[in-house]
Amino acid sequence: MPGRTQVRSATVIAGLAATLLLAVVAATSFGAVAVGPGQVVSAITRALAGRTLVPAEALVIELRLPRVVMAALVGMCLAAAGVLYQALFRNPLADPYILGVSSGAGLGAALAFVVGGSGALALVAPPVAAFVLALGTIVLVAGLATRRGVMQTLSLLLAGVAVSYTLAALTSFVLVLQRQQLSRVVFWMMGGLQGATWPQCAVVAVMLGAGLAIPLARTRELDIMLLGDERAGELGVDVERTKRLILASASLMVSAAVSVSGLIGFVGLMTPHAVRLLLGPDHRLLIPASVLGGGVVMVLADLLARVVLAPVELPVGIITALLGGPLFVWLLVRAQREET
């Protein structure tokens, strides 16, 4: 019987990975200058082989591909964080944006922008500052929502919203100080992916990998913690330790995403939820499937953002919010119905 489950899991993962690759190729071929999918693939293989590139290929490799890859990485980070928050808070409404973690990371990144710096420091400082504040935010929000050891759904959402507003206001204040770059910074805050570079992609990929390592090694604990903290403890899970590790991992991935692409909401909400409906609650499958799914969603959302008003680009955060907002309302209504 485990054999059958594993075959199914492998099929799902392979299917999602293939979809992601197709989406990346499709998104890369679209643009002001049309580049066929075949050319995209050949450009990638030639670049990997270290050959010199013709101008059309250089356009693909230097400009379009980093942006698409970045979209995929950001989607992966946010979806992975969403899965983890939903498991820890046992709440399908938990999402880095709603919990205020994104705003915390945003403030951290904004502070790093203002302080400035150059070279490697400019690359690494924003995600690190984002991580510190993201972690502080989630601890604060979870603390505010907990009364006598019990975390209430409504309190969690309210605390998330309240903290999120405060942090967003602080972020705006910080960014106004940086008036000469205002338009770039505003675009970043609304969630934009243009201007992504390969070194940025590398930083985000490393943070994604580091953020996924612990959760993937502890999927069984995550499953068991769905039964409640007390029961998990009875079954031998060190709940507090696991929680701290998972919160840190999730916040690391959120910080990576936010520091390059600003506040992009609802990807971390939609993707895990859809994957859970399809595949069930087993985290051994849920995490990798959500990561790949998040990549697909984000690449397609970014494609939409470029297509809808072409040649004008929309911030991708607008697309994800338009898709995810209604879903969130539906989930909230359903959760209320279950609670009463």
**Interface ranges with other proteins (CB under 8 A):** 1-2, 217-221, 223-224, 226-228, 230-231, 233-238, 280-282, 284
Q: How far is the CB of 231 from other proteins (least distance, A)?
A: 7
Q: Which amino acid is at 90?
A: R
DSSP H or E stretch at residue 151: strand 150-151
Q: How far is the CB of 154 from other proteins (least distance, A)?
A: 18
CA distances, 292 to each of 19, 133, 326, 327 (Å): 9, 27, 23, 20
Compute the distance between CA of residue 301 and CA of residue 11 in angstroms, rounded to an integer.
25
HSE value, Cβ hemisphere, 13 Å, CA-based, for 281? 14
Compute the distance between CA of residue 283 and CA of residue 290 in angstroms, rounded to an integer.
10
62 vs 230, which CB is nearer to other proteins?
230
272 vs 315, which CB is nearer to other proteins?
272
Q: How far is the CB of 90 from other proteins (least distance, A)?
A: 9
| Coil, strand or helix at 16 | helix
Tell me how far apart the 2 most distant CA atoms of the chain are, in Å: 65
Compute the distance between CA of residue 292 and CA of residue 90 in angstroms, rounded to an integer.
22
177 vs 277, which CB is nearer to other proteins?
277
100 vs 293, which CB is nearer to other proteins?
293
Q: How far is the CB of 281 from other proteins (least distance, A)?
A: 5
Phi, psi angles (nearest 5°) of residue 254: -60, -45
62 vs 240, which CB is nearer to other proteins?
240
Q: How far is the CB of 266 from other proteins (least distance, A)?
A: 23
